[in-house]
Amino acid sequence: MISFLLARLVGAVVTLFFVSALAFFATAFAPGNPAAVLLGNMATPERVEAVTRQMGLDQPTGIRYMIWLRETLSGNLGTSNLSFKPVNDLLAAALPATLELALASLLVAVVIALPLGLLVAQHRDSWWSRPTSALVTLGISVPGFWVGLILIVTFSVWLKLLPSAGFVPLSRSVAGNVRSMILPVTTLAIYLIPSLVRFVRVAAIDVLRESYVDTARAKGVGPWAILLRHVAPNTLITTITYIGLQLGVLISGAIVVEVIFSIPGIGRLGMNAVLNRDYPVIQGVVLVAATGYVAVNLLIDIAYALIDPRVRTG
């Protein structure tokens, strides 16, 4: 168990190292001079050259990478080319909103999709199972932002119940924060739920065909106990893996939702940075996203070991 987790930890560090290198070189080799972007169309060539030197952009790429790596490892991600604020501060300001959005949406999605998928699987022959599955499939083909726009029109334009934009930090007002997050979280959860339900349904049907489910039936276990004690835990194993693989979908979905609802999160920060060639911020955002990805996968491995004795003791 310990050695299993240590191996995963080493893997995580190696992954992060490569992602950081990728983040640096992708921006370093991108066309266009950040100094020129920064100074705008009116700048003289001499001025551009001076700023280029000032930003250290005239150095060979290898040396710039070593400097960047040293600074990054010591926790300094540089300054924004745009606002001249430290990237660290920008990320720290944007992170809570994104974390809240992503985690709350994932939680809502799992809490709804897991029981729904299990039920649809258990009652796969009843009259309501097929229409439900069809509805879910329909949900997969509807783009996530479309749902968001419908929600905005319904709940803030027509009913004037919820704000359509703006984010209230938890630290300022809990009630305000919840109010401002209901629509974004709903949008992102609705975006995640259909494919999750479909996956859980297929996984649970596989588990229901397993011989140990027959064993449970043959010893007189009732249908609910079979679903909860035998089918659900075994379905969870594959579902957790699937959630890990879907993390990219969660991140890209979060970016779209942040932009729609004007939430000052990592996604919007990254979006603006890309539009303005603000390379230090781009690198910071990529690093944060990658760290989140790696951390979640580490959590998934731990969850694995907790659920599955074959991983723990095998």
Partner 1 sequence: MTKVLLEVDSLTVRLGHADSAATLVEELSFSVAAGEILCIVGESGCGKTVTARSVIGLNRNEPGFHTSGKIMFDGRNLLTLDEPSMRRIRGARMSMIFQDPMSSLNPLHRIGTQIEESLAIHGDLGRRERRERTVELLSQVGIPDARARIDDYPHQFSGGMRQRAMIALALAGNPDLLIADEPTTALDVTTQKQILTLLERLRNDYGMAVIFITHDLGVVAEIADRVMVMYAGKCVESGTVREVFHAPQHPYTAGLLASIPALNRPKLPRLQSIRGAPPVLSEGRPEGCAFQPRCAHAFDACSTEPPMTSTGELDHLDRCWLLPAQKRHLANAMEVNA
DSSP class of residue 79 equals: B
The smaller minimum CB distance to partner 1, of residues 68 and 304, is found at: 304
262-266, long-range: CB within 8 Å, 24+ apart, which pairs?
262/165, 262/166, 262/167, 263/97, 263/98, 263/101, 263/167, 263/184, 264/93, 264/94, 264/97, 264/167, 265/94, 265/95, 265/97, 265/98, 265/101, 265/167, 266/91, 266/94, 266/95, 266/97, 266/98
Contact between 131 and partner 1 (CB under 8 A)? no
**Which member of 40, 60, 75, 314 binds partner 1 (CB under 8 A)?**
314
Q: Rule CB under 8 A: say whether 230 interacts with partner 1.
A: yes
- Which residue in the set 173, 233, 245, 299 belongs to the binding site for partner 1 (CB under 8 A)? 233
The least CB distance from residue 37 to partner 1, in Å, is 56
According to the binding rule CB under 8 A, does residue 234 interact with partner 1?
yes
For partner 1, give the closer residue by CB, 85 or 312: 312
Q: Is residue 2 within 8 Å of 306, Cβ to Cβ?
A: no
Q: Which stretch binds partner 1 (CB under 8 A): 21-29, 75-83, 159-167, 231-239?
A: 231-239
Under rule CB under 8 A, residue 306 binds partner 1: no
Q: Spell out the residues 6+ positions from residue 305 whose beta carbon is closer than 8 angstroms to its own.
A: 1, 4, 5, 311, 312
124 is an interface residue for partner 1 by CB under 8 A: yes
Question: Tokens 């972007």 label which residue?
Answer: 37
Min CB(128)–partner 1 separation in Å: 15
User: Cβ of residue 208: shortest distance to partner 1, in angstroms?
Assistant: 10
Please select the residue that binds partner 1; options are 2, 13, 125, 141, rule is CB under 8 A.
125
The neighbouring-strand residues paired with 86 are 79
- Looking at 44, 141, 171, 313, which residue binds partner 1 (CB under 8 A)? 313
Using CB under 8 A as the binding rule, whether residue 69 contacts partner 1 is answered as: no
From 229, 245, 252, 295, residue interacting with partner 1 (rule: CB under 8 A): 229
Least distance to partner 1, CB of residue 225, Å: 8
Say if residues 116 and 190 touch (Cβ distance below 8 Å).
no
Each residue 204-223 as x (binds partner 1 by CB under 8 A) or -, in order, gives ------xxx-xxxxxxxxx-
CA 121 to each of CA 111, 139, 243, 295: distance values in angstroms, whole numbers, following the listed order: 16, 18, 19, 31
Which of 12, 226 has the CB closer to partner 1?
226
Distance between CA atoms of residues 197 and 114, nearest Å: 7
> CB-wise, 78 or 117, nearer to partner 1?
117
**Residues 135-148: b if buried by 16+ CB within 10 A, e if exposed:** ebeebeeeebeebb
Subset of 252-281 contacting partner 1 (CB under 8 A): none
Contacting residues for 280 by C-beta, under 8 A, at least 6 apart: 77, 78, 79, 80, 81, 87
Q: What does the alpha-carbon distance between residue 57 and residue 63 come to, in Å, rounded to a whole number?
A: 10
Helix, strand, or coil (residue 159): coil
- # residues contacting partner 1 (CB under 8 A): 25
Stretch that binds partner 1, among 11-19, 61-69, 179-187, 225-233 (CB under 8 A): 225-233
Q: Which is nearer to partner 1, 12 or 237 (CB)?
A: 237
Residues that bind partner 1 (CB under 8 A): 124-125, 210-212, 214-222, 229-230, 233-234, 237, 307-310, 313-314
